[in-house]
Amino acid sequence: MIKKVFRRGFIAALMAAVALTQAAAAELRGIALTASGDSARLTLDLTDAAKQSLLTLDHPDRIVIDLPHTGRMHGVRPPAPAGVVTAVRFGSQPYGTLRVVIELRSALSAHVSWGSGARGRELTVTLGEPMVAVAQAAVPKAVRAVHAPGDGERDVIVAVDAGHGGVDPGAIGRGGTREKDVTLAIARALAERINAEPGMHAVLTRNRDEFIELRDRIARARAAHADLFISVHADSIRDRTVSGASVYVLSVHGASSEAAKVLADRENAADLMGGIPLDDSPLGAVLVDAAQDQIIGMSASAAERVMSALEGVGEIRKAQVQRAGFVVLKSPAIPSMLVETAYISNPGEERRLRSSEQQARLAEAIASGVHGYFVQYPPDGTRFKQERRSTLASSAEAAPGTP
């Protein structure tokens, strides 16, 4: 009897082992690196081909290659660094994906090709000519919009940041809606709405399904000389009955509520999806002086306007602008806010978030809040500033006694 149970257990273990072997369809048998001058070549000797994906990241510059259903033969070690390659690392990702990280001395283009190897398939990664800085390349060159007035007054630039993307889907609704898709749709609608407004111009930090580090989102906004940064999200929460929008700005002195802190922790973890360690630099190191206090103050007034405009679209979760330590809002020079447009975890809101009418309504509200902010706080050299000056001049004429 005991023997029988033991045998049954043994068979179960054997079947599990077979299942594991099937999950890892290919196996890495060896890896070699050759480098010369500004280029390098990494060759992966595999038993079979896999549908690889390639990701380029910076700080430090590195190439990340994911090979689904791929294992690593016992004893296979990463090659020693050489030339432009400062390190090669392996990592195991969920669902049996093998991750190969190639750290580089500087940004390089990467090209992958499959060939037949000695006993299986060979994946060659060619690292060549330095890349154009990603931040510059991604931001449209024509920052000066078509409706920029001819008198030298520039448009205000709004950086619209669609939260999540690529390997990071963000929150996922019960109906399968992914936050990264909803945020991109709303961000596009918002950019369109902003561009329709004279004197305003929008730039998107991403306009496709790609992974961007939180710091790079700020860098792209800076490269576009943005006057305001808006990160668009659609959070989820365990309690599916919770709904409504909320607007957040950066806090240097801790979160305004426990819920705000939990949310910031979750949004900050986005970088983890791309294999980037969590940002743990103290906020105080980035934001210290009075000028930066002022930026947060400006962020808060912009956020308040956006929030009251959103009240017209639907309910508001919290009647006040919330504060927490969001990494994506850590820009020392650009007023920034994060808009949680709705709860994707709420089935009703998930359905609405998918509709282009609702996306347009949200975009319209955010844009009108942004417009109100620029009327009150026009950046120097902009049409808004010019208009404000003429408004002030005419009111001074109307009341000559006022200083």
Q: Give me the residues that bind Zn ion (CB under 5 A), please.
A: 163, 170, 233
Instruction: Please give the Cα distance from 202 to 211 (Å, whole number).
Output: 20
Provide, rounded to whole angstroms, the least separation between the CB of residue 318 and Zn ion.
16
Name which of 170 and 244 has its Cβ closer to Zn ion.
Answer: 170
Provide, rounded to whole angstroms, the least separation between the CB of residue 338 and Zn ion.
8
Provide, rounded to whole angstroms, the least separation between the CB of residue 344 and Zn ion.
9
What's the token pair of residue 169? 């889907």
Name which of 29 and 317 has its Cβ closer to Zn ion.
Answer: 317
CB 160 within 8 A of CB 187: yes
Q: Would you tell me how many other CB atoms lie within 10 Å of the CB of residue 174?
A: 12
Name which of 233 and 361 has its Cβ closer to Zn ion.
Answer: 233
Instruction: Please give the Cα distance from 369 to 299 (Å, whole number).
Output: 12
Query: How far are the Cα atoms of 164, 229, 290, 292 from residue 332, in angstroms, in the given order?
Result: 22, 12, 11, 6
Helix (H, G, I), strand (E, B) or coil at 329: helix
Provide, rounded to whole angstroms, the least separation between the CB of residue 205 and Zn ion.
14
What is the torsional sign of CA 190, 196, 199, 204?
Answer: positive
What length is written for the chain?
Answer: 403
Provide, rounded to whole angstroms, the least separation between the CB of residue 176 and Zn ion.
17
Burial 359-372 (b: 16+ CB within 10 A, else e): bbbbbbbbbbbbbb
Name which of 108 and 214 has its Cβ closer to Zn ion.
Answer: 214
Specify the amino acid at residue 205.
Answer: T
Provide, rounded to whole angstroms, the least separation between the CB of residue 262 and Zn ion.
12
Name which of 70 and 246 has its Cβ closer to Zn ion.
Answer: 246
Q: Report the residue closest to Zn ion, judged by CB.
A: 233
Provide, rounded to whole angstroms, the least separation between the CB of residue 53 and Zn ion.
22
Q: For the chain, what is the radius of gyration of the CA atoms?
A: 26
Name which of 170 and 314 has its Cβ closer to Zn ion.
Answer: 170
Instruction: Please give the Cα distance from 246 to 162 (Å, whole number).
Output: 16
Name which of 89 and 174 has its Cβ closer to Zn ion.
Answer: 174
Provide, rounded to whole angstroms, the least separation between the CB of residue 55 and Zn ion.
20
Residue 44: name the closest of 91, 92, 97, 112 by CA.
112
Name which of 46 and 182 has its Cβ closer to Zn ion.
Answer: 182
Name which of 232 and 298 has its Cβ closer to Zn ion.
Answer: 232
Provide, rounded to whole angstroms, the least separation between the CB of residue 232 and Zn ion.
9
Residue 324 main-chain phi, psi, to 5 deg? -160, 170
What's the token pair of residue 195? 């561009």
CB 55 within 8 A of CB 11: no
Residue 61: name the closest of 140, 127, 158 by CA.
127
